[in-house]
Amino acid sequence: MKRLILAISALAGVFVADAQQLTTPQPSPTQTIKQNFGISSIELSYSRPGLKGRKLYIDLAPTGKVWRTGANAATTLTFGDEVTIGGTKIPAGKYGLLSIPDPAEWTIIISKQTDVTSPDAYKLDQDVVRLKVKPFQLPFPIETFTISFDDMKGNSCNLGLMWGTVYLSFAITTDVDGKVMKQIDNIMNKDNKPYYTAATYYFDNGKDLNLALAWVNKAVEAAPNEQPWVHTLKTKILAKLGKKAEAIAAANNAIRIANETKFPDFVKQNEDILKTLN
């Protein structure tokens, strides 16, 4: 009886071991990137195959055939706000990223289909935008397929594809200025106005500097001996307006406040501005 119990226990142990899930590395690891863009974000999800001795355009991403632009599941882009690609406005939402590789010129496809994993599943009538992109030769090889957000700016970025010695990219833009200006117009009619943020936007984007100065003065009134970044912005606006004497006075005041509040970076910023004014 004792031997029988031991045999049953050993057999049960085998069943438990077989039932356990074995986890191994993905041959083509999945990557999800969420990139802040404009006043929203873009989320990219794709799998990253490796060359592993195979040839691009022949064994992988074959020339002239619709490719999922990755491995495993479909590659997708989710736009948190309306964007423009290839001159076409694309509403916020989730889309498939497909491509037709070619050594001379790739075709990039943004599709309503988010589940295309083979050329047979692709439907032309679901295209949102198609654009032609010329690839460039890299001076060194990239083993693992890589998609990246490059050349980030306030209202634009490039989506880059790299594999082997091939690199190509296309631009994504969004209307930031119109949305921000609308926000400013709305908020400035309410209490607790964001004077500093609005003044900063106007200064950084070459808008009405006199209005920016009026707003930063309001922000200074709220913190006359604090927040050296606010006083530094006032210095920058005055200097850009060509009001030299006022800019020098503002810079010296900002340096005093930055020293008192222990913000050495703003001391240096204002000292650098003074060098251009003296």
From the list 65, 64, 69, 63, the residue with the least C-alpha distance to 48 is 69
- Same-domain status, 39 and 169: yes
- Same-domain status, 102 and 126: yes
d(CA 163, CA 137): 10
d(CA 166, CA 67): 16
Tell me what pLDDT residue 193 has.
Answer: 82
Q: What is the pLDDT along the chain (278 residues), one digit of tens a residue?
A: 555 555 555 555 544 445 578 877 788 899 999 999 998 999 999 999 999 999 999 999 999 999 999 999 999 999 999 999 999 999 999 999 999 999 999 999 999 999 999 999 999 999 999 999 999 999 999 999 999 999 999 899 999 999 999 999 999 999 988 888 888 888 877 767 889 999 999 999 999 999 999 999 999 998 899 999 999 999 999 999 999 999 999 999 999 999 999 999 999 999 999 999 98
87: left (phi over 0), alpha (psi -120 to 50) or beta: left
Tell me what pLDDT residue 184 has.
Answer: 84
Domain-located, residue 5: no
- Same-domain status, 156 and 143: yes
Residue type, 143: E
- Same-domain status, 162 and 196: no
Q: What digits encode the pLDDT tens for the residues 7-32?
A: 555 555 544 445 578 877 788 899 99
Domain-located, residue 10: no
- Same-domain status, 36 and 167: yes
- Same-domain status, 141 and 48: yes
- Same-domain status, 77 and 188: no
Strand partners, 79: 42, 93
Number of domains in the chain: 2
Using only the alpha carbons of the chain, give its radius of gyration.
28
- The CB density around residue 103, as the number of other CB atoms within 10 Å, is 11
Domain-located, residue 213: yes
The helices-and-strands tally (H runs, E runs) of the chain is 7, 10
- Same-domain status, 43 and 150: yes
**What CATH number corresponds to the domain at position 229?**
1.25.40.10
pTM for the full model? 0.66
Domain-located, residue 21: no
What distances in angstroms separate CA 265 from CA 200, 234, 239, 256, 259, one per listed residue?
A: 18, 16, 18, 13, 10
Domain-located, residue 3: no
Query: For residue 128, which phi and psi values (nearest 5 degrees)?
Result: -95, -40
d(CA 131, CA 87): 9
Q: What digits encode the pLDDT tens for the residues 31-40?
A: 999 999 998 9
Tell me what pLDDT residue 17 has.
Answer: 47
Query: For residue 79, which phi and psi values (nearest 5 degrees)?
Result: -95, 125
Domain residues for 265? 176-277
From the list 202, 184, 204, 203, the residue with the least C-alpha distance to 194 is 184
Tell me what pLDDT residue 154 has.
Answer: 86
- Same-domain status, 165 and 48: yes
